[in-house]
Amino acid sequence: TCPASAHPADGEAVFDRANIEAATGTAVHWLTTERIDGRPHSIEEAVSLHGGDHDEVQYLSVQAWRSWESIAEYFPHPRQVEVELEKTFGEVRLTGHVDVLSEASTVRMCDFKTGRLTEDWESQLRGYAWLALQLYPGAESVWAATVQVRSETRAELWTRAM
């Protein structure tokens, strides 16, 4: 469960998100993005605020940070964390929350995945990429990384022509 999805919009369908895995993922996302933004916190503080399994939050946050360090050089300053992307077309509203974003001629995005599933997140990243190109008209392309904290980091590059 995406941490941003814990705050549904008015009228949005809500599913049961009250489970330890979701809380653990939320705590890891919060710890990681806060640290990227220069505001480190303790594992205890994250678990107190968001819940989750202490040992799993500790393990995954270390893994997330190691993954971030391997790609941080590709995200020039200024960096933004927990960025909401949104565009409305008539009655259709497309939204997303990317974990880390840097804006330049190439918009760079990073999305952390803490779950055990190794799904293909390309459609989600393509949606984020399209939204970013709408919101940053000076950008020529989008580079997006999915950090599957338990296993690997995967990156894609899309241009306006795609």
99, pLDDT greater than 90: yes
Q: Taking a C-beta distance cutoff of 8 angstroms, is the pair 50, 60 a contact?
A: no
Q: How far apart are CA 113 and CA 64, in angstroms?
A: 9
Residue written as token pair 């974003």: 101
pTM score: 0.79
Kindly report the backbone phi and psi dihedral angles of residue 65, in degrees, each rounded to the nearest multiple of 5, phi listed first.
-65, -40
| Tokens at 121, concatenated | 């997140």
Average pLDDT over residues 148-162: 74
What's the pLDDT at 3? 47
Position 122 scores a pLDDT of 82
Q: What is residue 12's predicted lDDT score, i.e. its pLDDT? A: 59
Residue 51 to residues 13, 15, 19, 37, 142: CA-CA distances in angstroms?
23, 18, 9, 21, 34
Q: Which two tokens stand for residue 84?
A: 């909401």
Encode pLDDT of 56-75 as tens digits.
999 999 999 999 998 899 89
CA distances from 18 to 21, 94, 139, 160 (A): 9, 25, 38, 39
Percent of the chain with pLDDT over 70: 85
Instruction: Write down how long the chain is.
Output: 162
Other CB atoms within 10 A of residue 93 CB: 10
Q: Per residue in 112-145, pLDDT tens?
A: 998 877 677 788 888 999 999 998 888 989 988 8
